[in-house]
Amino acid sequence: MAIDDWLLDQLVAGVGSPVLRLYTWARPTLSLGFHQRCVEPSWRVLQEQGRIALVRRPSGGRAVLHGGCLTYALLWPDAPRPAALAYGLATDWLRKAMEDLGQPLRFGEAAVNLQASSCFASSTAADLVDVAQGAKRVGSAQLWRQGQLLQHGSLQLAPCRQLWQEVFAADPPRLEPLPLSGAALVDHLRRSAERQLSPAGFDVLRLQSRELAAIAPRRQRFRLSPAEPASLG
């Protein structure tokens, strides 16, 4: 999260370039949207037990349980407006990539549900839903900063049913396994993104020690420690 936030600031400063990051999480982590103020008591219990980590995304939306998923972060300089148009364009590469894997997806049609704690409790036009099963496969959220866009998304692969039930008191989306996994899946997704978003390709990002040192202080912004109040204040 700190890296994504720093990359967005590079775009704002005019020294960045388009970036697509695809990453997984070292441990089960619940990320809350930036404006999501309510931290459920059960989440704190799971955090104290060491079952999950809690972080707050710089982007919006509702809570996402990371574990059994692949996260993407798209940094898009001077992205088109309105936000709905950018959502469609910034997500269509993923829809096409899944279609090529025999897993067609469509955009969701539900209204935003601000009462739900889970991002995957509803499927809006910013999300991608499995055509056959009707289950939400991809949830996405945005952050705009001076005309520059960070779009986050979570591609569900094999969510842990037990942990999902403990976090959200509901079952995870029921999804068919993909024919690719690991590095092969990442390569497939990256090629699809390059074809649709950046025909010249995305630069390979290798952060140097100076850049990592600049990013390090931001990490605390997005951690939710057990002692932190639930509200942003």
- Report the C-alpha gap between 102 and 152 in whole angstroms: 24
Give the distance from CA 132 to its chain's centroid.
23
Q: Say which amino acid occupies 56.
A: R
Is 119 tagged catalytic? Answer: yes
- The answer, yes or no, to whether the previous bond of 82 is cis (omega within 30 of 0) is yes
Residues 6+ away with beta carbon under 8 Å from 81: none
- Report the C-alpha gap between 141 and 35 in whole angstroms: 12
> Which residue from 11, 53, 29 is spatially nearest to 147, judged by alpha carbons?
11
Residues 6+ away with beta carbon under 8 Å from 9: 16, 145
Structure token digits, residue 168: 């959200």
Question: Angle at CA 7, nearest 5°, toward 212 and 83?
Answer: 160
Question: Angle at CA 59, nearest 5°, toward 48 and 219?
Answer: 50
Annotated catalytic residue, options 38, 69, 119, 160: 119
Q: In terms of DSSP H, where are the helices of 101-218?
A: 161-168, 182-197, 209-215
H helix and E strand count, the chain: 7, 9
Residues marked active site are found at 119
